[in-house]
Amino acid sequence: MGLLYRLGLATAVVALLSRPTTASEPRCFPTDFLFGSATASYQVEGAWSEDGRTPSIWDDFCRQQPGFQCANVANDFYHRYADDIKLMVETGLQSFRFSVSWSRVMNWDPETRRMQRNAPGLVFYHALLDKLIENGISPILTIYHWDLPTELHNELAPQGWENPDIIDHFVQYSTLLYHEFGDKVDFWTTFNEPLSFVVYGYNTGLHPPGFHDSATLVYKVAHNVLLSHGYAVQKFRELKSGGVIQSKARIGIVLNANQFYPVDANNPSDVEATERAMNFEFGWWLLPITTGDYPAVMRERVGDRLPRFTADEAAILKGSYDVFMLNHYFSRAVTDCDSEASSTPCFSLHVGFGQDKGVDDSQLVPGSRPGLQDSKGNNYCKSYTAYPPGYLDTIKWMHAKDPSAKILLTENGWCGDDEVDNWTQLWFFQSYTEQVYKAVVEEKIPVIGYTAWSFLDNYEWGSYGPRFGLYYVNFTEETGSPDFEKPKPTDLQRIARPSAKWLSKVASTGCLDELPHKQETAAVIMRAAAREEPSVITGAAFSIELFVGAVAAAVGTVVLAAATWRRRQGYSVIPRLSTI
């Protein structure tokens, strides 16, 4: 960005703030802090059999499970992404997290017994990325968000993530994406929530492939996932050093973590059970990438059923991230499963992971806000409870494992009902972003962005509830049918919830509080300068205050106009993160 443009911004801000204000000091984030939202391929794209896409394990699983809905159409994002990006711009989003559908960009070749490139599927993601970049939105690309190609899963023996051979397949898939999108993506993540898809898919059976109650399988699968991550990051760094991937790109793995507290903080057994729960759920994934091995408490309790990393594997895993990535939703109170305070005896827990962890985490933290039924009586949100301080404590737990690592908050949201005006969701976002502010400003933790889940109401792994969206979507009775293919143009309309309107204000100013008009305009200008976004400047509502400050203000206005003219002539620079 030219000196002329920056001088204009600086002069305009000086002029704008030349008069004193009586407003209290606002709570504002750093000017380069990212506010964004997220989706995932299977949850929003639809177009389940178009342009060469083949089924994933979720396409099969939703048809096999009684009462499950499917995502043939979902939000029809595949056909409506351009309009949705317009909504992102209106909402002020500076980042957008999405995932690539493996079975959309690659197909199984029985002759080579490998997945092969599917060009039409790649065209879609190129178009999506180009449109995001054109609108100044930084892409956060998730390589794997649970939709393993069916043919790849079935052709391996043993199947899917249970087979160590999948590591090579995953690296091949990742490498394809690096070559295709390496010059367009700011942030990469190898996996979304491995804890969720590994435990639900290979211990409780709630997700595909539906395996359950094995004392060893879940640990073998987790081991293969971690090694897949490590080798994919190794390939990322190799291609980045060779110029295939842009120099500012960063990679990590999205980990999800609940925050646990002891039922009785004065009871050493509850305190120990709490730390054990944190290590079994969070440390299981975080410690291998920070230390090269699993938590000691897992080694002790799981024993020989927990695989071991070779020295070379440990070296590949340790430090296999450029940035920490964190999903967080709720907190729980914990006691040992056999304690007097437990309502969940150990024998009732799932064999393997559940019994090895050995805790009752069903109790609420005092002061929590429980999830509610929707207007139809569906209690989708029974397990979701809001406890805002738990967010800060989770961030601090992660930060302690590597205080030098920056943290990108990649999902956080409220399990909501089917109402458009969801005021509880608004309370959730306001309360949880206050905790993020405390982390950044008071605790000095290097959190670089906040990502709201989700941008749209979407498919939630078996049904279209609960609804997490900043935008309400009017799903029809047909939407979840396994035979449904073509929605009407009037179906699936997006309607902004109060949270979307609130986030638009926060994202544009970078502040949690209402600002006087001149301060708000100055905040927009300063955030635009930090991101080199003249498009934001031209959209700001400049007040008469800009003309205060005599000659300085006049010069600032003229220079700003010149910079804006330069943008309209095609001299602008597409905003991409350069400070992370």
Angle, CA of 194, 195 and 196, to the nearest 5°: 90
Residue 548, pLDDT score? 39
Looking at the structure of the chain, the number of domains it has is: 2
CB-count exposure of residue 550 (10 Å: 0-12, 13-18, 19+): exposed
Range of 553's domain? Answer: 1-23+516-580
Q: Are residues 425 and 536 in the same domain?
A: no
Active site (catalytic) residues? 193, 411
Buried b / exposed e along 472-511 (16+ C-beta atoms within 10 A): bbebeeebbeeebeebeeeebebebbbbbebbbbbbbbbb
Name the residue among 170, 167, 198, 193 with its Cα closest to residue 43.
193
Q: Are residues 388 and 529 in the same domain?
A: no
> What's the CATH number where 482 sits?
3.20.20.80
DSSP label of 211: -
End residue of a domain, out of 467, 488, 514: 514
pLDDT digits (tens, 9 = 90+) for 396-426: 999 999 999 999 999 999 988 788 999 999 9
d(CA 283, CA 359): 16
Q: Does residue 11 register a pLDDT over 60?
A: no
Q: Are residues 499 and 544 in the same domain?
A: no
Residue 516, pLDDT score? 59
Residue 272, pLDDT score? 98
Pairing mode of beta strands 359-363, 331-336: antiparallel
Which whole number is the average pLDDT over 11-40?
72
Helix or strand holding residue 189 (H, E): strand 187-192
Q: Are residues 130 and 233 in the same domain?
A: yes
Inter-residue contact 407 to 492 (CB < 8 Å): no
Q: Cite the beta strand spans of 439-548 per DSSP E.
A: 447-453, 471-473, 494-496
Helix ranges (H only) for 303-368 are 311-317, 353-357
Q: Are residues 250 and 306 in the same domain?
A: yes
Q: Are residues 199 and 182 in the same domain?
A: yes
| Least confident stretch, 121-130, 227-236, 460-469 | 460-469
d(CA 468, CA 37): 11
567 pLDDT band, cuts 50/70/90, is very low
Residue 231, pLDDT score? 99
d(CA 278, CA 19): 51
Q: Are residues 1 and 64 in the same domain?
A: no
Pairing mode of beta strands 385-386, 369-370: antiparallel
pLDDT digits (tens, 9 = 90+) for 492-548: 999 999 999 999 999 999 999 876 555 555 555 556 556 554 343 333 433 333 333
Q: Are residues 278 and 266 in the same domain?
A: yes
Q: Are residues 15 and 100 in the same domain?
A: no
Helix-helix angle 77-91:119-134, to 10 degrees: 10
Single-letter code of the amino acid located at 552:
A
Q: Does residue 448 register a pLDDT over 80?
A: yes
Q: Are residues 226 and 241 in the same domain?
A: yes
Q: Does residue 110 register a pLDDT over 50?
A: yes
pLDDT digits (tens, 9 = 90+) for 293-343: 999 999 999 999 999 999 999 999 999 999 999 999 999 999 999 999 999
Q: Are residues 309 and 250 in the same domain?
A: yes
Q: Are residues 535 and 394 in the same domain?
A: no
End residue of a domain, out of 477, 496, 514: 514
d(CA 471, CA 469): 5
Angle, CA of 33, 184 and 151, to the nearest 5°: 110
Helix-helix angle 217-241:166-181, to 10 degrees: 30
End residue of a domain, out of 514, 542, 564: 514
Please name the residues in contact with 217: beta carbons below 8 A apart, sequence gap of 6 or more.
Answer: 162, 202, 203, 211, 352
